[in-house]
Amino acid sequence: MKKNASQTSDSLLKFLGSMNLAITLLVALSVAAIIGTVLQQNQAYTDYIIKFGPFWFEVFKQLGLYDVYSALWFLLILFFLVLSTSVCIYKNAPKMLRDMREYREGIQLKTLESYSTSHTWETLHQVEELQDAAQKILRYHGFSARLKEGDGYQLVAGMRGAGSRLGYVLTHLAIVLICIGGLIDGNAILKLKEMTGQISPETQNIPADEVSAISRLGMDNHSFRGSVSVPEGSRSEVLFINYRDGYLVQDLPFTIEVKDFRIEHYNTGQPKSFESDLIIHDPREEETLQQTISVNHPLIYDGYSIYQASFSDGGSKLGLKAWPLVGARYSPKAIKTSVGEDIKMNLFNQNWQLEVSDFRLFNINPAEEPGKKFKNVGPSFQFKMRDKTGAAKEYLNYMLPIKKEGQFYFLSGVRGSPAENFRYLYVPMDDAGGINRFMQFLMALHDDAKIKELALKQGNGAQKLPSESTEQFSEAMLRLVKLFREDGFDAMVKQVETTVPSEKRKDVVDIYVRMLQQILGEVYLGVLKAEGIDLSQGVDESKAQFFDAASTAIGAIGRYGSPVFFQLEDFEHRQASGLQIARAPGKNLVYPGCAMLILGVFLMFYAPQQRLWVWLQPVDRQEKKIKLVLAGNAVRNKIDFKKKFDEVQAQFESALNS
């Protein structure tokens, strides 16, 4: 049994210390590093869903590709590489270290003569003279030399490059140190705690002080990398670590205050550089520490590296005007809110919630002007409107009008989920630079009594419709306007397709469109008259273009999804500094490991071990002839060694002929 156990142990050690296993693990590690470099790590899961789709998102998630360097399989590769390399060191390092000190003085003459780099002379020189010359020549070429007195012969053994064997040991030790550092900084302990049920990531978007203890990490967690967004003038004593499908809250032994955040922009409005003035409040220290950080210039404090990583909105205060998109007797309402605030609203007897998520002072869009690639179109804010069922649509509204095809519009983007692109509602700008005319036009179209009145005035054209009286015509026109308000021209087409025979649909659609345009035109003229505009000379081209753009926008409101249009009127900008904080004690092993790796590789490849032997043996005592054999051997760089051997041989030739 003991013999079998010993054989099993030897086989296991042989496998773990084999070159095949080491190469396989290194290749797997390289592939993992490529994945971790190509695929951006530790992003929000919604970003990956948008990029890869639900199916591949789930596949990549199960493989741990979103956090490769903390994935269990990656840590296992590191562990087995440490184990394999350690076994290799255990098996070979003693031999290598002995080889550094051995001159191989027990070598035989036959062995020397069998080397390809070997040469033999017979000479009448004295042995002592030859010994002295051999030692001098070897030392001249950088070989340390030892003399051995054998039975009937003398041997001068030389060696140089003994450090190459040390390079082998240093290289393997370096791999062990680097991998152990990777295991420490790769959250191996965190994985173990999760497997044993000591931690579980938080998945809800709640304040840090409400996160449960099982999702918090104490100050005894020595390795982590997380981020936190701190508004100007605010403090934070925690950071957030993206972990699996949620996050963990990491407590800090000090408090970080962002005193000021500054950002510089190019002429186009794109960010050029940004920096933060930080104050570190540490209860262990009497005085605070103040330092400015910027990109690539972090603050290293007590083993914590604090980087300037990004910036975001820090709770800007916004002044909004809520314009009703339904009804004829509603005035716009002023609303004060801030980014990150949720406001409950009752709109048209329904409960809604306004959730402002972001504000951007600059927006860089392609420019229409020749000679310019981009231009800043001004501030915008992003928000959600959530109805009583909890369903929400996301909106992106611009503060300033944007020019498109010669006309200015106020843009409002809408989408149902982050996976979709924004679809824009184009609200035309009026002569005063606002949207008052558009809103008056829209509200007038919701005045059913006014619509019926205008339809009655046009009753003479009722014979073109399937109507028997002027009253029926006015009711039909009101229904037509309602269809248009609900879903634009598409709603009219659908109505015709379901109620009119196919052979008459085209004619009926043409009649409906013509009648609707007449009603819209009359309503629009009424709005212009209410503004005090003189229409005696008719409507100019700009107002006609406004009518077309406004009609198109009103036809799209049914798909807009919000009962109000929020216009940004003023703001008080407040920025937040995005900080990334890392603690990586493993680097204390990785850095010296890298230095050892560089030194070891240099010794292995640029200081190879080379050996020379000079064998001296009498062959004819009467004639006092001495047989001199010069031989050499090198493990690497045999071509270079051959050149060196030829130089030594030439020097011996010169010495023997003198």
pLDDT in tens, 174-195: 999 998 888 888 777 787 888 8
What's the rounded Cα separation, in Å, for the pair 594 and 175?
A: 8
Task: Please tell me whether residues 403 and 303 are part of one structural domain.
Answer: no
Give 198: exposed, middle or buried? Use CB within 10 Å, 0-12, 13-18, 19+. exposed
Task: Please tell me whether residues 424 and 571 are part of one structural domain.
Answer: yes
CA 111 vs. chain centroid, Å, equals 61
Query: Which of 18, 47, 70 is the C-terminal boundary of a domain?
Result: 70
- Per-residue pLDDT of 200-225, as tens digits, reads 999 888 888 899 999 999 988 888 88
Give the residue, 489 or 571, on which the prediction is more confident. Answer: 571
* Number of Cβ within a 10 Å radius of residue 203: 12
Give 466: exposed, middle or buried? Use CB within 10 Å, 0-12, 13-18, 19+. middle
Task: Please tell me whether residues 367 and 405 are part of one structural domain.
Answer: yes
Residue 84 has pLDDT above 50, yes or no: yes
CATH of the domain at 630: 3.30.310
**Among 188, 36, 116, CA closest to 585:** 188
Beta strands 246-265 and 402-404: pairing type?
A: unpaired
Structure confidence at residue 608 (pLDDT): 84
Query: Is 359 within the bounds of a domain?
Result: yes
Query: Is 341 within the bounds of a domain?
Result: yes
Task: Please tell me whether residues 550 and 464 are part of one structural domain.
Answer: yes
What's the rounded Cα separation, in Å, for the pair 385 and 351?
A: 10
| Cβ atoms of residues 523 and 529 within 8 Å | no
Residue 199 has pLDDT above 50, yes or no: yes
What's the rounded Cα separation, in Å, for the pair 235 and 228?
A: 10
Task: Please tell me whether residues 510 and 445 are part of one structural domain.
Answer: yes
Residue 404 has pLDDT above 90, yes or no: no
Task: Please tell me whether residues 400 and 451 are part of one structural domain.
Answer: no
- Mean of pLDDT over the chain: 87
Structure confidence at residue 268 (pLDDT): 66
Task: Please tell me whether residues 193 and 304 are part of one structural domain.
Answer: yes
* Number of Cβ within a 10 Å radius of residue 434: 16
CATH of the domain at 307: 2.60.98
Structure confidence at residue 2 (pLDDT): 55
Query: Is 345 within the bounds of a domain?
Result: yes
Averaged pLDDT, 537-564:
89
Structure confidence at residue 328 (pLDDT): 63
Structure confidence at residue 261 (pLDDT): 93
Starting at the edge strand found earlier in the chain, the sheet holding 610-620 runs 118-123, 625-634, 610-620, 154-160, 144-149
Residue 28 has pLDDT above 50, yes or no: yes
Please tell me the total count of domains within the chain: 5
Query: Is 373 within the bounds of a domain?
Result: yes
Task: Please tell me whether residues 305 and 326 are part of one structural domain.
Answer: no
Structure confidence at residue 458 (pLDDT): 65
Give the residue, 207 or 293, on which the prediction is more confident. Answer: 293
Query: Is 124 within the bounds of a domain?
Result: yes
**Among 312, 307, 310, 309, CA closest to 582:** 307
Averaged pLDDT, 20-31:
90
The position carrying tokens 């104050």 is 279
Task: Please tell me whether residues 309 and 346 are part of one structural domain.
Answer: no
- Per-residue pLDDT of 421-470, as tens digits, reads 999 999 999 999 999 999 999 998 888 888 877 777 765 544 444 444 66
What's the rounded Cα separation, in Å, for the pair 600 and 165?
A: 9
| Cβ atoms of residues 231 and 315 within 8 Å | yes
Task: Please tell me whether residues 218 and 333 are part of one structural domain.
Answer: no
- Per-residue pLDDT of 583-613, as tens digits, reads 988 888 999 999 999 999 888 888 888 999 9
Structure confidence at residue 69 (pLDDT): 80
Query: Is 596 within the bounds of a domain?
Result: no
Dihedral angle computed from the Cα positions of residues 648, 654, 655 and 658, in that order, rounded to the nearest 10 degrees: 180
393 phi and psi angles, rounded to 5 deg: -120, 150
Share of the chain above pLDDT 90, in %: 43
- Per-residue pLDDT of 473-484, as tens digits, reads 777 777 877 888
Q: Which domain holds residue 385?
A: 317-433+567-575
Q: Mean pLDDT lowest for which of 337-346, 485-494, 531-540?
A: 485-494
What's the rounded Cα separation, in Å, for the pair 411 and 542?
A: 19
Query: Is 333 within the bounds of a domain?
Result: yes
- Per-residue pLDDT of 106-142, as tens digits, reads 899 999 999 999 999 998 888 899 999 999 999 999 9
Share of the chain above pLDDT 70, in %: 95
DSSP output for 360-418? ES--EEE--STT-SEEE---EEEEEEE-TTS-EEEEEEESS-EEETTEEEEEEEEESST
Task: Please tell me whether residues 55 and 115 are part of one structural domain.
Answer: no
What is the H or E stretch that residue 144 is in? strand 144-149
Task: Please tell me whether residues 206 and 310 are part of one structural domain.
Answer: yes
Query: Is 644 within the bounds of a domain?
Result: yes
